[in-house]
Amino acid sequence: MMITDALRQQLTQVRQELHSRPELSGKEEETSAYVIDYLSPFQAAQLLKGVGGTGLVATFDSGKPGEHLLFRAELDALPIQESNTFSHRSIYEGVSHKCGHDGHTTVLLGLAHLLADSTDWSGQVSLLFQPAEETGAGAMAMLADEQLASLKVDKAFAFHNLPGYPLGQIIWKEGAFTPSVQSLIIQLRGKTAHAAEPQNGLNPALAIAEILQFAQQLEITDPLRTDFRLLTPVYLSMGEKAYGVSAGAGEVHLTLRAWTQAQMEHLTTIFLGQVKSIADQAGLQLDFSWTDTFKANFNAELLVTQLRESIHRHHLSDQMMEQPLTWGEDFGAFGVLCPTVMFGIGAGEDRPALHHPDYDFPDEIIPTALQVFWGIICPSFLI
């Protein structure tokens, strides 16, 4: 089984087509249809469509006993105006693939080629194409879908391209790989008054200041510590631009991060307890809600070993991360199905950062990702 020049060229074209037609989270209808159409010649044993919205799962069966492995890619793009001028730039204003999900999807489509063309592997392999990763909603929506209940999986794998690391280098780590992340919206309602008579109202300004100060006090910003946690203010509003009016309402939005779900639950209990106390003391009505929730990615030791064996078998460059990444990635939600592992592939040390308007997934690492995945599926054969 080989990755031919013809397949490389075909997959590069696929990736660039996907890049040119990005869709936002939860709206990946055309991207999903493209994937379904592309997979149709490979005759998967089962194709689940519309899972959790626009998600889909193609399952290939070798007809031989073995493990059921799952590989995940994401379908969605970002609300970012692309600054690139190459021929495959986004055709849509204000929407672009600035996280590399076009490349991740292409790798799984390449894996479909290998699965269909080879008889050397055993067990079952499911290729899962997930919507709405950028908002943290997609994985949970797929898991809540009854269609996925029939999928009995032994292990799940995913990768993310990582700018700032050498092109094609595999970046791995046991244990925590990305944190639990969720965003909190705090709403405080008091009473509007004349600015000359603030004592006749309830202004949330001091309460907001106390909340932000307490958030900073709770932080443990060293990512090498197991109790690492961040509470980052991302947005706030209060009153209106009316200088004769003392504000009667305000909002604070923060994003919270911790390495594990248990640590996140502990953090939210402490923080919300103090927020409620601050609001009560100020006589303010408190409402809060959560959004953009990402489960922590925790890499199982056995799967990391399997990953490293594939890396070394293909003589690929690799590097162990000293500390986890600090951004959220909702692949961790699939940990309720089975053990999981997520790893990185270097996108180049000089490549723009993820979510930058000038970012573009490097097509050169598509074969690298295929080598790693195939070495997990079929350890006896190199590609």
The whole-number average pLDDT for the span 249-267 is 96
Q: List the end-to-end C-alpha distance of the chain, in Å, as a whole number.
A: 6
Question: Do 186 and 288 touch, CB atoms closer than 8 A?
Answer: yes
pLDDT tens per residue, range 67-81:
999 999 999 999 999
Residues 159 and 199 reside in one and the same domain? no
Q: Report the percentage of the chain scoring pLDDT > 70.
A: 100
CATH number, residue 320: 3.40.630.10
Question: Do residues 196 and 338 both lie within one domain?
Answer: no
Q: Final residue of a domain: which of 294, 326, 341? A: 294
The per-residue pLDDT of the chain, averaged, comes to: 96
Is 57's pLDDT higher than 80?
yes
pLDDT of residue 381: 77
Q: Is the pLDDT of residue 82 over 90?
A: yes
Residue 383, domain member (yes or no): no
Do 285 and 300 reside in the same domain of the chain?
no
Same domain membership, residue 303 and residue 256:
no
Residue 267, pLDDT > 80, answer yes
- Structural domain range at position 14: 5-177+296-377
Verify that 127 and 271 share a domain, yes or no: no
Instruction: Note whether residue 259 is domain-resident.
Output: yes
Tell me which of 248, 264, 294 is where a domain ends. 294
Same domain, 167 and 308: yes
Residues 158, 27, single domain; the answer is yes
For the chain, give the percent of residues with pLDDT over 90.
94
Is the same domain home to 95 and 195? no
Q: Is the pLDDT of residue 23 over 70?
A: yes
Q: How many CB atoms lie within 10 A of CB 25?
A: 21
Whole-number Å distance between alpha carbons of 313 and 308: 8
CA 4 to chain centroid: 30
- Give the pLDDT band of residue 382 (cuts 50, 70, 90): confident
Q: What's the pLDDT band for 380 if we cut at 50, 70, 90?
A: confident
pLDDT value at residue 124: 98
Strand partners, 101: none
Q: What is the mean pLDDT of residues 196-207?
A: 97
Q: Total domain count for the chain?
A: 2
pLDDT in tens, 214-224: 999 999 999 88
What average pLDDT does the segment 236-256 reach? 97
> Long-range contact list for 194-202, CB < 8 A, 24+ apart?
194/244, 194/245, 194/246, 195/243, 195/244, 195/245, 195/246, 196/244, 197/246, 198/246, 201/246, 201/248, 202/248, 202/282, 202/283, 202/284
296 bridge partner residues: none
Confirm whether 351 is domain-assigned. Answer: yes
What CATH number is associated with residue 237? 3.30.70.360
pLDDT classification of 350: cutoffs 50, 70, 90: very high
Distance CA 53, CA 243 (A): 46
Confidence of residue 1 (pLDDT cuts 50, 70, 90): low
Same domain as 337, residue 348 = yes
| 281 inside domain | yes
Arithmetic mean of pLDDT, 206-215: 98
Looking at the structure, tell me whether residues 29 and 171 fall in a common domain. yes
In a domain, 72, yes or no: yes
Which of 259, 294, 329 delimits the end of a domain? 294
pLDDT of residue 343: 98
> Six-digit token pair at 90?
């986004």
- d(CA 72, CA 52) in angstroms, rounded, equals 14
Q: Are residues 111 and 231 in the same domain?
A: no
Judge whether 210 lies within some domain.
yes
Q: Report yes or no on 235 lying in a domain.
A: yes
Residues 148 and 243 placed together within one structural domain of the fold: no
Does a structural domain hold residue 382? no
Q: What's the average model confidence in pLDDT over 176-182?
A: 94
Q: pLDDT tens, 127-176?
A: 999 999 999 999 999 999 999 988 999 999 999 999 999 999 999 999 99
